[in-house]
Structure 1
Amino acid sequence: MSPAVLQAARTLWDFHLIYDEVSKADLIMGLGSYDLRVADRCAELFHQGLAKQILFTGKSGNWTGGLYDGTEAEAFAMRAKELGVPGKAILIEPQATNIGENIRYAKAMAGDNIRRAIIVTKPQTQRRAHATVRAQWPDVEALVTAPPTRFENQPTQAYPLDMFIHEMVGDVQRMIDYPAKGFQIAQSIPASVADAFDFLVKEGYHHHL
């Protein structure tokens, strides 16, 4: 992989990161994916006393078909239990197949008493989660965070670097297209990010568009 591709990928990575300062909330929501480190981060926040309940949401998506024995939400819940989170503190939403459904289905399951939620996702989907929850659950104060993973360590054996770059490119495209459909709030795309996006598409990283 060329240095130019890696530099463009890092530009998208930096754009996607948010890491809100988290504080006490009514709910921790873990968005299902290939990355079990999200469940680890949810468990960590739970043990810090930031919320009394975790809701894991996810069936399977573009990247996780066949990865787990059950759904993403079930796999995340099992990981959290292994890390000491009691089962009675965990809710499982096993139907969502994308971030919009994660938010809508979790909202329906959580009920009307949620005023503040901590949304935990992969580092590179923080901005997409931020834009989605503000469009589809506007009456909740949403704090978006992720495991503190470095760019170099984000790819996994099941999800290598090239797939990781395809995902980041596709999520920029969604930030451009989805506000008009009501799926996300509009995001400002810096020129450096737009240039990196165009370059990576030309280099063939367009499988998630």
Structure 2
Amino acid sequence: MGDNQQTITESQWRRAVLIWDYHQMQHVLRPVDVAIGLGSHDLGVATYCAELFRAGLFPTLVFTGGNSPTTARVFPRGEAVHYREHAIELGVPAEAILLEPYATNTGENITRAREVLAGADIHPSTVLLVCKPYMERRSYATARQLWPDVEVSCASEPLEFSDYVKSIGDEKLVLDMLVGDLQRVIEYPKFGFATEQEVPEDVRAAYESLVCDGFTSRLIP
């Protein structure tokens, strides 16, 4: 449990679920040329990548991610390295996995993974991004901006919001992360980091309300 634990009200929870649902793209899973597992604190990303590989959705998997202050302790050898080891334990052949162990943000995840694929003479036309559940929309918008010539879809572990919160063990932190990712969805297009995403009025109102309530630790200045 984090030090920033606080009691989440029923109203705050409802607003968080609204944002959670917005972050997920609800793309229909289908076979693609390549999948890219985006590194984070969540090993469930690697677990789901392995599940989708075993289901035959793609022949090649790239794990991308170095370290951040929040992952260095959990994944001391880097996010992508630990993801790869986990996926191999779950039955993905080592030769099916490419490694990109340096990216420190989502933009680098996309551009560096593309470079690793090109280095292996793989030039996909369809790409599946596998990430944390609340990161789908930002990942999609980033890829559309930085890799516009591929068809991008997104996937994440099919978890209910309550189950995800339980897996993290810190309600306040999860709400902070939902709010922080939505801020990036809204703001990053202005800087050329991502494509514009329509944000429904009720989602934006939920976001502004949670910011006012103090769920701000993951906001950018």
Please state if 1:97 is matched with 2:104.
yes
Aligned length: 209
Matched with 2:61 is 54
1:103 alignment partner AA: I
CA distance in 2, matches of 1:69, 1:177: 31
CA distance in 2, matches of 1:47, 1:39: 12
CA distance in 2, matches of 1:13, 1:170: 12
Change in 2 beyond 3 A, CA 1:102/1:187: same
Specify which of 61, 81, 90 is matched with residue 83 of structure 1: 90
> What percent of counterpart residues are identical?
37
CA distance in 1, matches of 2:159, 2:47: 12
**69-78 or 18-27: which moved more?**
18-27
Specify which of 173, 178, 191 is matched with residue 188 of structure 2: 178
CA distance in 2, matches of 1:158, 1:13: 15
Query: How far apart are residue 18 of structure 1 and its match?
Result: 1.1
- CA RMSD for the aligned pairs? 1.4
Specify which of 26, 39, 56 is matched with residue 33 of structure 2: 26
Moved over 4 A (4+): 156-159
Unmatched tracts of structure 2, length 5 or more: 1-7
Say if 1:19 and 1:126, in contact at 8 Å, map to a contact too: no
CA distance in 2, matches of 1:138, 1:203: 37
What TM-score, normalized by structure 1, do the two folds share?
Answer: 0.95
Unmatched tracts of structure 1, length 5 or more: none
Query: How far apart are residue 33 of structure 1 and its match?
Result: 1.0
Matched with 2:14 is 7
Say if 1:19 and 1:146, in contact at 8 Å, map to a contact too: no
1:115 alignment partner AA: S
Deviation string, structure 1 residues 149-196 (Cα, Å, up to 9, x no partner): 110111356562211111110111111211111111001111111111
Matched with 1:201 is 211
What TM-score, normalized by structure 2, do the two folds share?
Answer: 0.90
Matched with 2:4 is none
